[in-house]
Chains A and B, each alone.
Chain A
Amino acid sequence: MDNKQIRYDILKELFNVSVGQAASMLSEVVKKTILLDVPKIEIIKSDKELCELQTHLPAVLDGTLMISSITFQEQLTGEANLIFPAEKMKTFINLCLNESEQEMQYSDMHFTDMDFDIIREIGNIILNAIVGGLSNQIGIQLQYTLPEVQVFDRIDFEEDIQNKEYPYFLMLYITFDIGDTEIEGAVIVNLTLTSLKELMLIVTKIEDELYG
């Protein structure tokens, strides 16, 4: 394993622990066991080319997307976005509200304020666990907001995220299995160059300690 692989492995494991935390919170609130998959991560440099992100966003994330975002600052500056397909979120919301599919005879893809609030709570759980968990494990302090929830078309989202000033994306792919519904999603952490360097510096330090 070379140094780069080890650094990825460290990041992945840090995220893994955070996703585990998030799942525990989620299972508590939906009162169901959640089956987790091994998460994957990637670091992507944005070249202001649209095709770039496209190749990295999983194919399941198509059509209408539900995105919760938080911004954070202090030792690291950036933004974290949790992305799920809107359709799956609808199923998930119905699961949370204990509304069976039979009651919902029509396929209703409209999100009410109540739905948005549920997504905000879920987004908050997952993003807190991931961003908070990460900062906690690597021993840094971050200030961050409650999530904003938006519905995007995939294409608009790609443009939106690439138009921001963050040149690096940390992509984290997550899969939850809740009550027979598989929800594949991604977390995109956008970082400034300084912040990515800072993060990798901390990771390198952790790596050195492994042999220390």
Chain B
Amino acid sequence: MDNTLYDILNEIIEGIVIVNEGLKICFWNDYMENVTGLKQEDVKENYIYEVLPNLNKRYFEQSIQQIIKNGCKIFFSAGMHRSLVSNKKEFNVKISLIQKNNSKFFLLEFIDVTNQFVRINQFKEYVQELYKLNQKLKVKEQLIKKLAYYDQLTGIANRTLFYKIAEKLIDNANRNNSLIGLLFLDIDKFKQINDVYGHEAGDKILKKVACILQNYTRKSDMVARFGGDEFIVLLPHFKDSKSYKKVASRIMNAEDKSIYYHSREIKISFSVGISLYPEHGNTIDTLILKADQAMYTAKNKGGNQYCIFE
């Protein structure tokens, strides 16, 4: 080949190697010398496999056969063929056939993609970090939701969550023509207990009541702490207006209505007012108001009983 042509190939900023049909190196440009540290005169006439031992020999040979048979070009990606040329850099390789005066040569072009690799790895690390951060945030988000919607002392729903869910339940009941019962519960003489035994005992009672309400209602019922010593139980999907009585008496007759505080038993009793949707109102506020009134009726009758709004 013409010397000018070799000079040109030496100017190109990609690796150029030409091998003959016997896969021995005929040309090795300056760029390859720089990358590998091997001089052309040292590699010339050597097998390509000996000079580039990381070349997958069988695959390379099959590719060369394909090129001879089909005249196609072959492409080796740096992703699948690591450290082909050196440990420090990664190259894509393109191989094509050159035919000249009945002899065949193969042109190997080495295109440096090291920077791409570095960037992709940085990108992947970055994505991995973001993923981890995202996971952490999700956990925090759940915690925040819990704080926002649940009563910290008793662990049951707070007033915010109660309103959110109550509205949906009323919508559903409206659509399905079903009934909802609302139980408004207030602990009898809670203030006195607090005064006599202290706030610690009061807190214990609140927890106990929350526990009783959860144990004596269905999974689909909603138990919420409305504030202070007031609790609300919402009973959706009721078939007839009698069923709420069963739930109310179940709660009233709960066996474990007491706590032990410094080895002393403190009995718990409460008064419950009941209102019904849609009989007593269409909005949650009306229902609460009427159940609250019924609860006062129960209190006035001496407490420790339930009353329905009339």
Contacts and interface: CB of A to CB of B under 8 A. Distances in A.
Q: Do A and B come from one complex?
A: yes
Interface of A: 21, 24-25, 28-30, 93, 96-97, 105-106, 108, 112-115, 117-118, 120-121, 124, 128-129, 131-133, 135-136, 141-147
B112 to A, nearest CB: 13
B69 A117 contact: no
B113 interface: yes
B177 interface: no
A80 to B, nearest CB: 12
Contacts of B94: 146
Contact of A135 (B59, B70, B113, B116): B70
Nearest to B62: A25
B80 interface: yes
B62 A28 contact: yes
Interface stretch (B71-79, B273-281, B291-299): B71-79
A128 B72 contact: yes
B80 A146 contact: no
Contact of A112 (B71, B72, B80, B123): B123
A48 B237 CA distance: 57
Nearest to A112: B120
Given A112-B123, A132-B70, A117 B62 contact: no
Contacts of B80: 29-30, 96-97, 118, 121
A30 B56 CA distance: 11
30 contacts: A25-B59, A25-B63, A28-B58, A28-B59, A28-B62, A29-B59, A29-B80, A30-B80, A96-B80, A105-B128, A105-B131, A106-B127, A108-B127, A112-B120, A113-B120, A114-B113, A118-B77, A120-B75, A121-B75, A121-B77, A121-B80, A124-B73, A124-B75, A131-B70, A132-B66, A136-B70, A141-B71, A142-B70, A142-B71, A145-B73
